[in-house]
Structure 1
Amino acid sequence: MDSHKSIGLTKTVGYQVGVRKTFPISQQQAWSLITAEEGLNAWLGGGGNIILKPGHQYRTTVGTGEIRIVKPLLQLRLTWKKEEWQRPSTIQIRILSKENNKTTISFHQEHLANQQIREEMKRYWESRLASIEESIQKM
């Protein structure tokens, strides 16, 4: 078997991917960027009324899911199923405070169906981090 095909494959959660980037902003600013309506629309798709409360089910132009864990300033955990997917994935976003007023935003997604979707989501999350960086530069 070609070991390249199994990048990101785990025994328990299928394919997974994680991306992170550190920004020159406070933990509060990072949380606001991720959880404000504009931020949620940017990474989950628009058109939804997403309430960050465990158990809340949401639908956007891109897919559906359920909010699982909300720890303000620290962590979001939710399911997300894009329309074309057979089953939902799990996304965990962590906000990690660093020294000198810097904060790392981390996206981790698991239960992805295959290597192709993993690669697609890696590019997707990298583009979301690039968008966050652009919005910070405009602040």
Structure 2
Amino acid sequence: MTHVVGQTRDAGFQIGVSRTLPHPRERVWEFVTSAAGLAVWLGEGARLSADRGAAYRTAEGTVGQVRSLREHDRVRLTWQPADWDHETTVQLTVSGDERTVLRFHQERLADAAERERQREHWQRVMDAVVAALDSQAGR
């Protein structure tokens, strides 16, 4: 089998985007799990429950289910935009203390082209999250 960048044996194609932020972990977590933060990274109208299997839907029609939500650590969920014929898995993690590493990881992508589109998507999302946190902090 020929190795293709971003392709795994078990999870199909995957992508990860991370950035170290000059904000405490608590502040980052509170933002990304707030209504305003969820709108930035998941989509307008998204509400998440910590209950495994809890469904969510965004205003744009993206749907999924929570797989796990560990306070101040990670959110793992399925993610399927309205115009996709398959679901993927997205994980958001926060780590660190005074400087926080925020990561978005997506797996079960269909192919290399979808992986590239999603890499660009998560980079834009990361930029938007950083801008929102910086503006909250008065930077």
TM-score calculated relative to the size of structure 1: 0.89
Paired-residue identity, %? 30
Give the distance between the partners of 2:68 and 2:48, measured in 1 at CA. 14
2:123 aligned with 1:126: yes
SS in 2 for 1:117: helix
Q: Which residue of 1 aligns with 2:91?
A: 92
What stretches of structure 2 of length at least 5 have no aligned partner?
Answer: none
Q: Which residue of 2 aligns with 1:19?
A: 17
Give the distance between the partners of 2:49 and 2:35, measured in 1 at CA. 10
- Amino acid paired to 1:93: L
Give the aligned length: 135
SS in 2 for 1:82: coil
Question: Shift of the alpha carbon at 1:62?
Answer: 4.0
What stretches of structure 1 of length at least 5 have no aligned partner?
Answer: none
- Amino acid paired to 1:96: S
- After superposition, the Cα gap between the structure-2 partners of 1:96 and 1:19, relative to the gap in structure 1 and judged at 3 Å, is same
2:75 aligned with 1:76: yes
Q: Can you list the C-alpha shifts for 1:62-103, whole angstroms capped at 9, x where unaligned?
A: 4100001011000110000111212110011110115xx100
Q: Which residue of 2 aligns with 1:41?
A: 39
TM-score calculated relative to the size of structure 2: 0.89
Contact persistence 1:19–1:107 (CA under 8 A): yes
- Amino acid paired to 2:13: Y
RMSD over aligned Cα atoms:
1.7
- Greater shift, 86-95 or 45-54, is seen at 45-54
SS in 2 for 1:20: strand
Q: Which residue of 1 aligns with 2:106?
A: 109
- After superposition, the Cα gap between the structure-2 partners of 1:42 and 1:62, relative to the gap in structure 1 and judged at 3 Å, is farther
Give the distance between the partners of 1:37 and 1:53, measured in 2 at CA. 17
- Amino acid paired to 1:36: S
Q: Which residue of 2 aligns with 1:51?
A: 49
Contact persistence 1:44–1:62 (CA under 8 A): no
Question: Shift of the alpha carbon at 1:137?
Answer: 2.1
* 4+ runs deviating over 6 angstroms: none
